[in-house]
Amino acid sequence: MEELAINGGPRAAEPLEVPEWPQLNDASKRYVEESLESGDWCRNSGGEFCDRLEEEFAVYHDAAHAIAVANGTVAIELALRACGVQPGDEVIVPSYSFIASASAVPAVGGVPRFVDIDVETYNIDLDHLEEVITDRTVGIVGVHFGGYPMDMDRLTDIVEDNDLFLIEDAAHAQGSEWRGEKVGTFGDFGTFSFQESKSLPSGEGGIVVTDDDVLADRARLMHNIGRRQGATGYYHYHLASNRRLSELQAALALGQLEKLDAENEARERNERVLLDELESIDGIHTKPRDNRVTARGYCVENFRYDAEAFDGLSREQFIQALNAEGVPVGEGYEMPLYRQPAFYRNEVARFLPADAEIPDYPNLHLPGVEEICRTNVAYSHRMLLADEAGIRSVADAIRKVQAKASELLSD
């Protein structure tokens, strides 16, 4: 076998050509130009693109309502406020995700309670979830991590049995389905992000979906400084912030939505090829195949790395060697959310009532998420848009590193 690329040899993944991201399509360009030429750049100026995006996103999800907002973080905050979170209420959140999945809770005055992660799926551990629920719990923010859906059969039963609200953070999961139904539509709200790295990007931006007419009315009121839907005057019914999306970003997102399904189908085909290859490599653990997952959306994708199968080569050395072979992978989120300095007591306490019981987050130990933080290897959804030869070369590169691992240990 040829010498490792990190030691000067040829790259095993030379055929892998990962496309640039985001990709501007003709529809996005046309809609943005129309919005620019109209002069209606703010939603309240009479533009059409926020309305069109909401209508088409709702239809795409077979949802009754969609409300476009400034980003995915405020989408979660808006959903929490519309669900009625009060100061000191406890909301269960994942311990492995982008920080907004948990930081949105104290931002609206609630107390986040972290739940462990299932190492197989990277989603919340439903056994631990049932243990974490107390009489102070009012709801759950659950993440479809990497676009891989949570077990919505069991999760919705837990929510109903305990009279909780459910917010599905689907920032990673544009287009994912559970038993033929789009994720984001099982709970009280689904929240989505259009940030530039997402598979449906508009630079920044987000949206919430719901089938509940009352919740939708609350969310619309709260996203537009307390104004009624469509109102632009100075009559405000509720103390609220401005969470509106601009017309320009809505136009960009609308065009991106038109190509989402085709890109997801390509990603899903390539993922099947990659999984077939990776499952034959000792020490590489991929997510389970579940026939209840009937379509996949993507953002980051992941596998777990077992150093013992690579002669004890550390994950950091493995990633460096794989990068050198031409495969763009990384560690993903470096630590459980409860270890983030943002969740130190003095930080969280600024948002909560004086008598709120704040957990000792930095000293929390949840084994599933801590294992993932030691073993996870992540890659972007855009790698799954390469051609099949490039996808297969990813596995070739891993096999090469595995066969030559002892050389890296002796360096």
User: Would you list the domain boundaries of the chain?
Assistant: 26-257
Whether residue 195 lies in the annotated active site: yes
Instruction: Yes or no: say if 363 and 344 are a contact pair by the CB < 8 Å rule.
Output: no
Residue 38 pLDDT:
96
**CATH architecture of the domain with range 26-257:** 3-Layer(aba) Sandwich (3.40)
Q: Of 174, 195, 256, 402, which one is the catalytic site residue?
A: 195
Whether residue 374 lies in the annotated active site: no
Q: Of 135, 234, 235, 355, which one is the catalytic site residue?
A: 234
Q: Of 144, 198, 382, 404, which one is the catalytic site residue?
A: 198
Whether residue 244 lies in the annotated active site: yes
Whether residue 198 lies in the annotated active site: yes
Q: Of 61, 65, 218, 227, which one is the catalytic site residue?
A: 227
Whether residue 227 lies in the annotated active site: yes
Q: Of 98, 318, 343, 361, which one is the catalytic site residue?
A: 98
Whether residue 317 lies in the annotated active site: no
Residue 355 pLDDT:
93
Q: Of 65, 128, 172, 220, which one is the catalytic site residue?
A: 172
Q: Tell whether pTM > 0.85.
A: yes
Whether residue 52 lies in the annotated active site: no
Residue 411 pLDDT:
57
CA angle 239, 357, 86 (to 5 degrees): 20
Mean pLDDT by 10 residues, the chain (411 residues): 93 98 97 97 92 98 98 98 97 98 98 98 98 97 98 98 98 98 98 98 98 97 86 84 96 98 98 97 97 97 98 98 98 97 96 94 97 98 98 98 92 57
Looking at residue 237, its amino acid is Y
Q: Of 89, 169, 188, 211, which one is the catalytic site residue?
A: 169
Whether residue 382 lies in the annotated active site: no
Residue 228 pLDDT:
80
